[in-house]
Homo-oligomer: A and B are copies of this chain.
């Protein structure tokens, strides 16, 4: 069994209203040293190992998990000891 950790972030230059809202809230809570916040998605995918696992993960990200127009993705594959 494998645990694939997928990180999905907005591409550089894409507006991030959610990030701005979080940043403003943090500054309002007196965390004045917070300059910028970028909000993205974090997914943990539990899947059976496969010969072409990396290729499969790339395909899953390109086809479904990330929007290639505005998002970047990265991932880590970990072995899960049952």
Binding site for B on A (CB under 8 A): 1, 7-9, 19, 22, 25-26, 29, 31, 33-50, 56, 60, 63-65
Contact = CB atoms under 8 A, between A and B. Distances in A.
Nearest to A45: B37
A31 B47 contact: yes
A38 to B, nearest CB: 4
Number of copies: 2
A81 to B, nearest CB: 15
A60 to B, nearest CB: 6
Contacts of A38: 43-44
B25 A47 contact: no
A48 B27 CA distance: 12
A60 B26 contact: yes
